[in-house]
Amino acid sequence: MAIHGRWYCPKAIWSQYTSNPSALPNPRNETAALNCLSAILLNALQHVNQNLTDMSRLHNQSVFEFCAIPQVMAIATLTLMFRNIGA
The pLDDT tens digits for 36-85 are 999 999 999 999 999 999 999 999 999 999 999 999 999 999 989 988 87
As beta bridge partners, residue 6 has 3
Which pTM does this prediction carry? Answer: 0.76
Is the model more confident about 13 or about 86? 13
The pLDDT tens digits for 12-34 are 999 999 999 888 889 999 999 99
Task: Round to whole Å and give the CA distance between 62 and 48.
Answer: 21
